[in-house]
Amino acid sequence: MTETNHTFHIPVMGTAFTIDSPAKVARYGISSVISCVDDVLIEKMRRLYCRMMGEECTPIEKTDPDARANRITAYLNLLDHIVKEQVERLKHSAFEFGSETHRYFELLPETSALKQMYIRMQGLKNTNEKLSLQEELRKRIEPGSIDINIMTKLDRANFAADGTPLAAEFNDAMAALRGYAKSTLASSIVFSAGFNGRLYSYVEKFKDFHATDDGFIKKKIVIKVNDFRSAMTQGKFFAKKGLWVSEYRVESGLNCGGHAFAHGGNLMGPSLEEFKAKKDELVSSLFEIYNKALAQKGRKTFEAPHPVRITAQGGIGTARENQFLLDHYDLDGTGWGTPFLLVPEATTVDQATLEKLCAATHEELFLSNVSPLGVPFNNLRNSSSEEYKAARIREGRPGSRCAKGYLVSSTEYSKKPACLASRFYQNKKLEELNSQGLDPEQLRQEQEAVMDKACLCNDLAGAALLLHNLQEEGEPSPKPAICPGPNLAYFPRTFSLEEMVDHIYGRTDLLGPISRPHMFMAELQMYIDYLEREVQGYLASPNEQRARYVREYRQDLMRGMEYYEELIPEMEQESQAHRSQMLMDLNACRSSLENLSEKYPQLPWQAS
């Protein structure tokens, strides 16, 4: 297991919710991930922090030839500067209760060698020995990593002022990558949402992603995956270019926030088991390809592979779950996302939305179809975005003004791509539906599907705009959207940073007696529910490919349930009562899957 000061990180959440998390928590050794989708928001945040610090800020206007990349570079450099200054001040604060230094060490897990050294220092009576150990502790203070996330699917082509298309390097994802590559950060870039060969090939152009002769990689590559095969495939692509993937971040497809990628029936437990069993195979096979590529390029080869981390995130809710993942699967860390939405010291959420999150039940948290990408999206029913969208529909004004255009995709009604949430697209599509002579019920369903899409570009930035009063003159009042995972329903209030970190490490229990299914069982039921959506999709448009997908999905779930049946008795972190409950939940899931087969007997569940 790779040694780090903390064993958890805060994953990317939306475009706004972790936009400045490094400025809030990195000085305490906690790593977090920033979204690079919204460079308009990024530029506003840079101006905000420059004002807060009393620093001069030269605006990077939209007319700048490389505005997107330059905005990202400037903001990341500013955060790097802020965190370094914070850490220097922290290192010089006193070793006394309430100081920043005290807080840094108190937040660390008890398993940390640094925490043990700190505890030993506190018990020393000899003043000189104590001061000497304090000096050693100060030297070993390290900030958390300022990581960035690029959602590979969001690679919109851009156009010059005269309408001519710009070169591919000015596409959204490519420009974001360039912005990060030019920054002063020594951290990681997280690629999510699948393979993008052109984007991955572009990485090779920047020296900071390449290992130096002594093996140091300034900017590390992290790939968010759902299964081992994807990790191997993407790892090989980079290795063939002489690039090393430093971390594979395994995320639950459905028990997470934001966009949900079901990836068939690949459950988290079996996927992690495969990573555990095949990590050595993964590293050795990629290392061979990597060294061969380096030799062909005339660069220095290495005697041993660079470190590789395997981490997991999605739906973790208790210290027992967290520790089991670390211990049983030999993980190098875990990601805690959704619960941190309730920690104002760590994330950015406006007060009204925060209050709705605290009150949210499973009824308010749902897997929606609001994303213009056509990918299921975890959502809050009573968010300002949803309420405002419903009001516009009632008033006969569906759709939104497309101000940013990050999610444009359709050329159905125009040569230039339009967003499915835009007023232009929805009006055109609704006119077309009205002219098709559909029966009233089918027309209603088709209309609702069109109008359900929401302007996530604007609305996911709304929380930061409201909280920091960043909307400019002439801009509409923000209507925040938010994308928590289902796990949020079990966390009933806001928490301090100490409370949440103590909960993760088992020093306190924020959930108390709340009845909550184990993360593996919760995910399993979500996958069964999602399978029914897939079945209905097949029945609406049957073909052999979709039938095969549904059959294989069901088979994966059945294998997953067999795996859990064997695993549960081994889960010693859980009490006997909890393990018994897990087995009951597993049987309930098995019944749900059987009921699904009986509900849709017309579907060929077995291959012919």
Q: Round the CA-based radius of gyration of the chain to a whole number and report it.
A: 25
The C-alpha atoms of residue 517 and residue 568 are separated, in whole angstroms, by 13
Task: Provide the pairing of β-strand 188-192 with 146-151.
Answer: parallel
Kindly state whether residue 363 falls inside one of the protein's structural domains.
yes
End of a domain among 437, 459, 494? 494
Each residue of 171-182: pLDDT tens digit?
A: 999 999 999 999
- Cα–Cα dist 177/133, whole Å: 41
| 105 pLDDT higher than 60 | yes
- Sign, CA torsion 476/477/483/486: negative
For residues 474 and 356, state if they share a domain: yes
Same domain, 392 and 463: yes
Find all residues with CB under 8 Å of 323, minimum gap 6, and list them: 506, 573
Q: Do residues 569 and 464 share a domain?
A: no
- CA gap 20, 348 in Å, rounded: 7
- Whether residues 485 and 539 share a domain: the answer is no
Question: Is residue 391 located within the same domain as residue 460?
Answer: yes
Q: Which two tokens stand for residue 243?
A: 């690039």
Confirm whether 117 is domain-assigned: no
Confidence category of residue 573, pLDDT binned at 50, 70, 90: confident
Distance CA 596, CA 605 (A): 10
Residue-range definition of the domain harbouring residue 413: 351-494
Query: Do 452 and 523 reside in the same domain of the chain?
Result: no
Q: What is the structure's pLDDT at 264?
A: 85
Considering Cα of 350, then 355, then 358, then 359, what sign does the dihedral take? Answer: negative
> For 422, what's the count of Cα atoms within 13 Å in the CB-facing half-sphere?
20
112: pLDDT strictly greater than 50: yes
Instruction: Answer yes or no: is 453 within a domain.
Output: yes
- The candidate with the shortest Cα–Cα distance to 169, out of 207, 198, 206, is 198
Distance of CA 58 to the CA centre of its chain: 31
Assigned domain for 208 exists: no
pLDDT tens across 405-459, in order? 999 999 999 988 999 999 999 999 999 999 999 999 999 999 999 999 999 999 9
In angstroms, rounded to a whole number, what is the distance separating the alpha carbons of residues 378 and 380? Answer: 7
**What's the CA gap between 337 and 296, in Å, rounded?**
41
Tokens read off for 541: 């448009």
310 CB neighbour count, 10 Å cutoff = 23
| Residue after which a domain boundary falls, among 494, 525, 541 | 494
CB-based contacts of 230, cutoff 8 Å, min separation 6: 195, 223, 263
Structure tokens at 78: 């500013």
**In this predicted structure, what is the pLDDT of residue 410?**
93
Please check whether residue 252 is in contact with residue 268, taking contact to mean a CB–CB distance below 8 angstroms: yes
**Gap between the Cα atoms of 418 and 426, Å rounded:** 10
Q: Where is 192: in which H helix or E strand? A: strand 188-192
Q: Extract the tokens encoding 22.
A: 């490094």
Q: Are residues 421 and 539 in the same domain?
A: no
Residue 374: is its pLDDT beyond 60? yes
Contacts (Cβ under 8 Å, ≥6 apart) of 535: 550, 596, 600, 603
Q: Is 598 helix (H, G, I), strand (E, B) or coil?
A: helix
Q: Report the Cα 288 to chain-centroid distance in Å.
A: 30
Least confident of 150-164, 214-228, 458-472: 150-164
Average pLDDT value for residue range 23-45: 98
Pick the range with the lowest mean pLDDT from 23-32, 90-99, 327-336: 90-99
Length of the chain: 608
The CA distance from 240 to 568, in Å, is: 40
C-alpha neighbours within 13 Å on the C-beta side of residue 134? 19
Number of domains in the chain: 2
| Co-location of 475 and 565 in the same domain | no
Please give the residue that has the higher pLDDT: either 225 or 540. 225
224, 196 Cβ separation under 8 angstroms: no
- Given this model, what pLDDT does residue 53 score? 93
Beta bridge partners of 498: none
Tokens of 579: 């393990």
| Domain end point (choices 494, 525, 543) | 494
Quick: pLDDT tens for 385-413.
999 999 999 999 999 999 899 999 999 99
Distance, in Å, from the CA atom of 104 to the CA atom of 115, rounded to the nearest integer, reads: 10
**Are 450 and 574 in the same domain?**
no
The strand pair at 8-10 and 146-151 is best described as unpaired
A 10 A CB-CB count for 123 gives 7
Q: Is residue 536 part of a domain?
A: yes
Mean pLDDT, range 92-106, rounded to an integer: 94
The answer for residues whose C-beta is within 8 angstroms of residue 281's C-beta and 6 or more apart is none
Give dist(CA 252, CA 248) in Å, integer: 13
What would the two tokens of residue 497 be? Answer: 């940073």
One-letter amino acid at 157 equals A
132 and 393 Cβ atoms separated by less than 8 Å: no
Tens digits of per-residue pLDDT, 240-264?
Answer: 999 999 999 999 999 999 999 987 8
Q: Same structural domain for residues 370 and 478?
A: yes
Residue owning tokens 């000497």:
132
Residue 607: the pLDDT is: 66
Of 122-126, 470-474, 564-568, the range with the lowest mean pLDDT is: 470-474
Average pLDDT over residues 275-295: 98
- 382 within domain boundaries: yes
405 and 533 share one domain: no
Distance of alpha carbon 421 from alpha carbon 423, whole angstroms: 7
pTM over 0.85: yes
In a domain, 126, yes or no: no
Looking at the fold, whether 366 and 487 belong to one and the same domain comes out as yes
User: H or E stretch including 536?
Assistant: helix 519-540
Mean of per-residue pLDDT scores for the chain:
95
92: in domain: no
333 bridge partner residues: 311
Cα separation, 290 vs 236, in Å, equals 8
Give the CA angle between residues 328, 148, 419 to the nearest 5°: 110
User: What tokens were used for 526?
Assistant: 């979500």
CB 312 within 8 A of CB 335: yes
pLDDT at 1: 37
Q: Tens digit of pLDDT for each residue in 187-197?
A: 999 999 889 99
Tokens 């990024």, located at residue: 42
Confidence of residue 2 (pLDDT cuts 50, 70, 90): very low
Strands in 419-536 per DSSP E: none
d(CA 542, CA 297) in angstroms, rounded, equals 49
Cβ count near 269 (within 10 Å): 22
